[in-house]
Amino acid sequence: MQYIDPHIHMVSRTTDDYEAMRAAGIVAIIEPAFWMGQPRTSVGSFQDYFNSLVNWERFRASQFGIKHYCTIGLNSKEANNEALAEQVMDLLPLYASKEGVVAIGEIGYDDQTKAEDKYFREQIELAKQLKLPIMVHTPHRDKKNGTIRSMDVIKEHGVSPSMVVIDHNNEETVKAVLDRGYWTAFTIYPNTKMGNKRMVEIVKQYGSERIIVDSSADWGVSDPLAVPKTASLMNELGISKQDIHLTCYKNALDVYGQSGQFNEADWMKEITIENMELLNGNSVLRGQEFVKKTYSNIIEN
């Protein structure tokens, strides 16, 4: 079985992670724009970061047989620096229209401040203008109220739930999100957010319709193999292959495919990688011995 990880921050990961992910069956990933662990202090740092998402990381992933896509947005945590946020908002349309950008995100609330609300709404309108899906970051504190508030705001702006992924769900929020018709994503994150055993119970209780499994692996303690590991546990504990396929592959393809940028045909073929390829004069080999690999990406449902 092959997998999509539709929420993983590879700018924080190593080439060993890419190799392990491809060996575990991950064929495509989506990297959302997010907070880097410390506040950025100038618009140039955002510009360089967005450039890395649409250029360097796409290249780096390709060298390990993985198709890389991204989302572009101003994260909620940094929306509170309004002077900087205004400059970032001017950048977003330039990057959101680039090749491989499949959504506006991850956006939403952190502390649920007035500034966060302002830029959340502005980015919803940008997504509407560009006809892109939206990836919503639900807050880690006061999650249930923040999740409900996020959905209320999206409804106010007239966006169909079919175009929106509500991420970082847990047992407290899942029913409300599913009941409103949104795509309902779960971050499999060690010790917090959602564990893989808990994820199995969610699928047993609610099924696989509009449910998405992702890793959100980043610069913290996290696991870039969370999706295939969860799929394996699902299989061990009696979840059907069809439900595994939907939650760990097909549902992400369906929602982000609405962007017109996320197409199964991009990776459903044999891929030959020649690591002597360069981007801006750089190779992932960093002067090491030439490696040539061939990956077969024929999907087995």
Look up residue 181 and give its amino acid. G
Q: Which helix (H) or strand (E) holds 95?
A: helix 82-96
Joined together, the tokens standing for residue 84 give 């900087």
Q: Kindly report whether the peptide bond that precedes residue 106 is cis, defined as omega within 30 degrees of 0.
A: yes
Rounded to 10 deg, the angle between the 196-206 and 226-236 helix axes is 60
Phi, psi of 20 (to 5 degrees): -65, -40
List, in order of start, the domains of the chain with CATH numbers: 3-296 (3.20.20.140)
pLDDT at 193: 61
Q: What is the largest CA-CA distance in the chain?
A: 56
Strand order in the sheet with 3-5: 3-5, 26-32, 67-72, 101-108, 134-137, 164-167, 183-187, 211-214
pLDDT at 295: 74
Residuewise pLDDT in 10s, the chain (301 residues):
899 999 999 999 998 999 999 999 999 999 999 998 898 999 999 999 999 999 999 999 998 899 999 999 999 999 999 999 999 999 999 999 999 999 999 999 999 999 999 999 999 999 999 999 999 999 988 999 999 999 999 999 999 999 999 999 999 999 999 999 999 999 997 666 667 889 999 999 999 999 999 999 888 888 999 999 999 999 999 999 999 999 999 999 999 999 999 999 999 877 766 666 666 666 665 555 666 677 766 554 4
Distance CA 50, CA 159 (A): 25
pLDDT at 256: 98
pLDDT at 223: 93
